[in-house]
Chains A and B, each alone.
Chain A
Amino acid sequence: ETGVTQSPTHLIKTRGQQVTLRCSSQSGHNTVSWYQQALGQGPQFIFQYYREEENGRGNFPPRFSGLQFPNYSSELNVNALELDDSALYLCASSSARAGTGELFFGEGSRLTVL
Chain B
Amino acid sequence: DQQVKQNSPSLSVQEGRISILNCDYTNSMFDYFLWYKKYPAEGPTFLISISSIKDKNEDGRFTVFLNKSAKHLSLHIVPSQPGDSAVYFCAASAQGRDDKIIFGKGTRLHILP
B105 on the A face (CB < 8 A): yes
On chain B, the residues within 8 Å of A50 by CB distance are: 99
On chain B, the residues within 8 Å of A100 by CB distance are: 32, 49, 51, 93, 95
In the complex, what residue of chain A is closest to B38 when comparing beta carbons? A105
Q: Do B44 and A99 touch across chains, with their CB atoms under 8 A apart?
A: no
* Contact (A108, B43) CB under 8 Å given A42-B104, A97-B99, A99-B99: yes
Q: Do A107 and B97 touch across chains, with their CB atoms under 8 A apart?
A: no
Contact with B along A49-68 (1 / 0, CB 8 A): 01000011010000000000
B98 on the A face (CB < 8 A): yes
Q: Do A107 and B99 touch across chains, with their CB atoms under 8 A apart?
A: no
| Min CB–CB distance B88 → chain A (angstroms) | 10
Query: Using a Cβ cutoff of 8 Å, how many contacts connect chains A and B?
Result: 70
Count residues of B near A (Cβ-Cβ below 8 Å): 29
Q: How large is the interface on A (under 10, 10 to 19, 20 to 34, 35 or more residues)?
A: 20 to 34
In the complex, what residue of chain A is closest to B106 when comparing beta carbons? A42
Contact with A along B41-61 (1 / 0, CB 8 A): 111111001010000000000
A102 to B34, CA, bound (A): 8
Q: Do A99 and B98 touch across chains, with their CB atoms under 8 A apart?
A: yes
21 A–B contact pairs at CB < 8 A? A4-B43, A33-B99, A33-B100, A33-B101, A42-B104, A42-B106, A45-B101, A48-B100, A50-B99, A58-B100, A97-B99, A98-B93, A99-B32, A99-B94, A99-B96, A99-B97, A99-B98, A105-B44, A105-B45, A107-B42, A107-B43
